[in-house]
Amino acid sequence: QVQVVESGGGLVQPGGSLRLSCAASGSVLNMNAMGWYRQAPGKGRELVAAIISGGSTNYADSVKGRFTISRDNAKNTVYLQMNSLKPEDTAVYYCNVRGRSIPSRPFDSWGPGAQVTVSS
């Protein structure tokens, strides 16, 4: 099994910054695609940012220019740097990692979520 856990959430004032981390553990051979999703209270889950093995990234229009997704393959970790945070960014943020575990078995794992609250 490959498990994923998020960290780095918390309370921040509008205009502030947070850095979320997502660590994958288990028999990870490689991570092919990593994504950050979020779900606000009473809302559906939406894709925020994604990065694939080649390094290309995609962002939701609402976070472009403010959020940056990155990865550290040696640590099996993906990050989400969030700057210029707005109250509408308040949500539970989930990490999704897809890849292959040893030996060459595909996996698709979700973390339990991290709360991000942007409020004055």
pLDDT digits (tens, 9 = 90+) for 56-115: 999 999 999 999 999 999 999 999 999 999 999 999 999 999 999 999 899 999 999 999
- At residue 1, does pLDDT exceed 90? no
- At residue 7, does pLDDT exceed 90? yes
- At residue 39, does pLDDT exceed 90? yes
For 9-25, the pLDDT digits (tens) are: 999 999 999 999 999 99
What local confidence, expressed as pLDDT, does residue 10 receive? 97
Residues in the chain: 120
d(C-alpha 99, C-alpha 73), whole Å: 12
d(C-alpha 39, C-alpha 34), whole Å: 17
Q: What angle do CA 22, 112, 19 make, to 5 degrees?
A: 35
